[in-house]
Structure 1
Amino acid sequence: MKNGGTNSNGYSPFDAYDLGDKFQKNNVKTRLGNKNELLRMIGVAHANGMDVIQDVVLNHLDNAGSADGSGGPDPASNNSDGNTYKNFRYVSYSTPASSETSVNYLARSGRWPKNWPNFHSNTSHVCNSGDLCGAFFGPDICYYAGAYGQSSNATFNPTQTSDHNRVGARDWMVWMKKQTGVDGFRFDAVKHFEAWAMQDFLWNVKYNASWANGGANMFAVGEYVGSGAQLDTYINDVRYSNGGSEDMIGTFDFSLRQELKNMVSGSGGYNLANIPGSQQTNRYRTVPFVNNHDTFRPTKDANGNYTGWDTGNELGGGHIDPFDPRLAVAYAICFS
C-alpha cells in the first residue's frame, strides 16, 4: 500500500484500494511498483506453481492528508489520543489529486473514507489504551458497530451508518481477492483488533467472494506476539466468533520460536527434549519461524553492514544471531 510517496512500507497504510494505480501522495507507484507489476508478479508465481500470500494491515492507518498533510486534521477530532489527523480521503476518477490543497483533498471521493469517529476512542467504544485500542502505529481503527459519524470540515462527507469499518474491511477483502487472485493472507498485529472482526473478514473472503472464493482450505495466518496458551486462545476465539465453528486462521508459533532461541543461545548445553512441548497446542496452519521483522532488527552502517542490534525494539524474545553455527539446527526443526 502507498503512503508518503514511494518511501513507506506496507505497514503504514493510507488507502487500501491503492495498489499503485492512483496518483496520490505525489506518486502513482507504491514503494515496490505499480498495480500492473503486482498482478504480473502474481501471475508468474502461479505459472511456476507458487502460492501468493498477501500481507494485510487492518489495525491502523497513518498520514491523513494530501502529500503535504493539507486537509488531514479535523478540528473536532475527539479521540483523546492527541492526534487530529483523522480525515482520510482518497482520489477517485471524478476527484483526482489536481492539487495538494486542503480544498482538493477534502473533496476526494474514493472508496472507504474515514472520519475521526471511526477510530478509538469514540462514543461507542470509549477506549484508547491497551492492545485493542492503543494508537501504537497511527490512528487505531475501531470495528464496533457504533463507530461512525461525520467529519466537521470535509466537503466529501457521505452519511455513515452502523458498522462502517466492519463492512468497509469486509468489502475490501473480497475486492482484494478478486483483483489480485492471491491464495491467502498474512494479517499483521491481530491482537490489536477483535477476533470477531477477523472471523467476519475471513468467512466472507472464503465463502462470499463469488468466483474468487478462497474456500475452506484458504491459507490464513495472524501475527500474534504471545505465549503458546495465548496463541491457542486467539485461534479458538476467531473460530467460535459470530456463531462459527470452523478453524479460520493459524498463528506464527512464537512459543516454539522462543525455545529455538533458547537452544541457539544455550552454548551447546541445551536439552532438545524441551522442543516438542514448547509448541502451541492448536496446530491449525501454525507457522514456525526463526526470525522475522519484529524479532530481527539489526543496526547497519551506510553500506548495509551490521553494526549491532536494536534490541530495545525487538519483540518475541529478540533476534537469533544469523552467524551462530547452531542456526542450522533451528531451521531444521522449523522445516521438520
Structure 2
Amino acid sequence: MYTRSFPFGGSRMPRLFLLFSLSLCFAFWSCSSLTEEITDLREGDERVQHEIQVTQTPNTPDAAARAGQLGGPVMMQAFYWDVPAGGTWWEHVESKVSAWSAAGITSIWLPPVNKTMNGPFSMGYDPFDFYDFGEFDQQGSVETRFGSRQELESLIGSAHQEGLEVIADIVLNHNSGGNAEFNPFTGTETFTSYVPASGKFFRSYLDFHPNDMRHADEGVFGGFPDLSHVKPYVQDWLWKRPDAVAKYYKEVMGFDGWRFDYVKGFGAWVVRDWVNEVGGFSVGELWDGNAQSLEDWVNATSQTSSAFDFACYYLMEQAFDQNNLNALSGDMLWKRNPMKAVTFVANHDTDEIWRKNLAYAYILTHEGYPCIFYSDYEEWLDKERLDNLLWIRGHLAFGNTSILYVDQDEYIARRNGGPGMLVYINNADFWQERWVRTNWANTEIKDYTGHSSWQPFTQGDQWVKIQVPPRSYSIWAPVGF
C-alpha cells in the first residue's frame, strides 16, 4: 500500500520504510438527504422536470459568521518524495511562501524536521533524535536532508509573516537508528538503545514493544522498533513535560499544527492527548478508503483531529480516470463531517489520479480542507488554472453543498452560501449543456474559469442553462465578484 507513484507513467517503487494558531474557519455541518428538482435538456430545448435524491449538508448558526469571510483554508504539501538532498530545501520553500500566500494558500505542511537514522539522505520518516533539527553532528551529518535548524526557523518565521500556518509531520509509531542491546523481553539483541546528541528523550528496550506493560499495540511498521505510548516515560517526553516534543515544536520552534503519520499503528487516544495538551490543527494519515472508518477514527480522537479523506481520493480516481462520475455520489468523509476532512489529489506516497484538473476542480470547490501537492502546483499542472481555482474558493465557495445532477459523464453541484456558485464537471469528449436550478432569480451569471463565454440570466424561478467544455469544468456565479 505504501508506494511512490510516478505522475507520467513508469514503475512504482515500494517504500523501504515510512520515509513519511489560526483556527479553522469552517462551519460545522452534518450530512442529510433531500429531494432536489433538476431538469434535463431535451429535443427542442424543452425542460422536463425530474426528481432525484441528492446529498446536502445543512446550514448551522456558524455559517452566517463564515459568510462574511474568505473561503475556507487550503494547505500546501510543501515537499515531494526525494526532494533534492544537500540541505537546501528549507531555503527553497521559504522562497515560495509569499507567492503561495498571495495565491490563497493558508498553511504549509513540512516533511519531518528531526534528525533520522539516514541523516542527510532521509526524507524524515525514520526518526532518531526528535530534538535535532540540523544542529548536531550525528547520523552522518549536521544538517538534515532539508537544511539547518537556523534555515528551518527562518522558513517558519517567513511563513508566519505571510499569514501561513506551519504544519509539522510527526512520526510517533516507530523509531530507527538505535544501537543494539540485549532485550530480556525478546531474549535477543534489538536496536533499541537511543542516545541522542540533543541530550533529550533517551530510549531503551523498556520504551518499545514488547515490554513490562504491553506486548504490542495497534501496529508495527517495517520491522522498526515500535514505540510504546502506554509507558509514562514515553508520554512525558512526547507531550506532557515542559520540554516535551509537542511543546518544544509548538512553543520553541513555532509550529502551528500537526500531521500524524501512520495513525493505524497506535491508538487514536495518543493524538487526542497530544492535541488536548498543546492544541493546534491536527490531521491523521489513516490510509483507509472507507468513510465510516475515517469517521470512527476522528470520533476516537474526541474530534480533536481531522483525517485525510482517502474515501474521497479513491472515489475521485474512479470518477475521473475510470470514466464514471457517478462515483462522486459515494460516501466520503467530507460529506459526513466536512470540518474534519482534509481532501487531496496526490501526496508523496500515492499519486493515482491522472485527470487532476477535474480532481482539483472538485476538491477546491467543495467542502473540506483541500491540500495541494507541491509537484502538481509547481511542476506538473497549469499553475494559472490552479490559481484561478484558489481565487474561486476564496471568493465564491461558501455554504453547504447540494449535488444537483450526476451521471457517468456529468456532475453538477451548488454551494448555497453567499454568493454561492455552481460547479459543472464534464468527463465526456464533447461540450455539455444542462438546465439547473440556482439560488438566484433574474440574475446575470458567468463562468469564472473563463472556459465558457456565456453570461446568461437566471429566470424568475431561478432556473438557468449552463455549459461545460469537454474533459473540463465550469464554475458559475453572479457577475460582479
TM-score between the two structures when normalised by the length of structure 1: 0.69
| 1: CA distance, partners of 2:338 / 2:186 | 39
Could you say what secondary structure the match of 1:127 adopts?
coil
Task: State the alpha-carbon separation in 1 of the partners of residues 136 and 272 from structure 2.
Answer: 30
Which amino acid letter does the alignment assign opposite residue 130 of structure 2? A
Alignment-derived partner of residue 204 in structure 1? 277
Alpha carbons 2:238, 2:246 under 8 Å: kept: yes
Cα distance change of structure 1 residues 137 and 284 upon mapping to structure 2, 3 Å threshold = farther
Q: Kindly indicate whether residue 203 of structure 2 is the aligned counterpart of residue 141 of structure 1.
A: no
Secondary structure of 1:53's aligned partner: strand
What's the offset of the Cα at 1:285? Answer: 3.1
Q: How does 1:37-76 map to 2 (within 5 A)?
A: 37-64=151-178, 72-76=179-183
Provide structure 2 residue ranges, at least 5 long, that are not aligned to the other structure: 1-113, 366-481
d(CA) in 2 for partners of 1:8, 1:127: 27
The answer to whether 1:332 aligns with 2:345 is: no
SS class of match (1:165): helix
State the shift of 1:278 in Å.
Answer: 2.4
2:349 is the alignment partner of 1:294: yes
Structure 2 residue 325 is matched with structure 1 residue 271: yes
> How many percent of aligned residue pairs carry the same amino acid?
31
339, 342, 347: which one aligns with 1:284: 339
The CA distance in 2 between the partners of 1:45 and 1:200, in whole Å, is 27
1:221 is matched with which residue: 253, 260, 283? 283
Give the one of 239, 251, 266 matched to 2:307. Answer: 251
| Bigger relative contact order (CA 8 A; separation at least 6) | 2
In 1: Cα distance, 2:189 partner to 2:121 partner: 22
Residues 31-42 of structure 1 mapped to structure 2, 5 A cutoff: 31-42=145-156
Note if contact 1:77-1:86 (Cα within 8 Å) is conserved in structure 2: no
Q: 2: distance between equivalents of 1:276 and 1:181?
A: 40
Gap regions ≥5 residues in structure 1: 65-71, 93-109, 146-162, 207-217, 240-246, 297-318
Change (3 A) 1:39 1:258: same
- Alignment of structure 1 residues 80-99 onto 2, 5 Å: 84-92=190-198
Structure 2 residue aligned with 1:2, among 115, 121, 124? 115
* Counterpart in the other structure of 2:201: 112
Q: Is 2:256 the partner of 1:183?
A: yes
- Pair 1:24 & 2:138 matched: yes
Shift of 1:294: 2.2
Indicate conservation of the 8 Å contact 1:62/1:137, yes or no.
no
| Secondary structure, counterpart of 2:164 in structure 1 | coil
Cα shift readout 1:186-243 (whole Å, capped 9, x = no counterpart): 111112111112111111112xxxxxxxxxxx3211100111111100011110xxxx
Counterpart residue type for residue 173 of structure 2: N
Matched residues in 2 for 1:263 and 1:186: separation?
A: 27
TM-score (norm 2): 0.49
Contact kept in structure 2, 1:222 and 1:251, CA below 8 Å: yes
Shift of 1:277: 3.5
Instruction: Name the amino acid aligned to 2:190.
Output: T
SS of residue paired to 1:52: strand
Paired residue type of 1:328: N
Matching of residues 227-246 of structure 1 within 5 Å = 227-239=290-302
The CA deviation at 1:133 is 3.5
Indicate conservation of the 8 Å contact 1:235/1:282, yes or no: no
- Alignment match, 1:209: none
Which of 353, 356, 362 in structure 2 is aligned with 1:320?
Answer: 353
Moved more, 163-172 or 118-127: 118-127
Q: 1:10 to 1:137 in 2, by over 3 A?
A: farther
Distance 1:85 1:258 in 2: 37
Structure 1 CA distance for aligned equivalents of residues 137 and 347 of structure 2 = 32
Instruction: Give the alignment partner of residue 122 of structure 1, picking from 175, 192, 211.
Output: 211
Report if the CA contact (8 A) 1:220-1:248 is conserved: yes
Q: Which has the larger radius of gyration?
A: 2
Which letter does structure 2 place at the counterpart of 1:50?
A: L
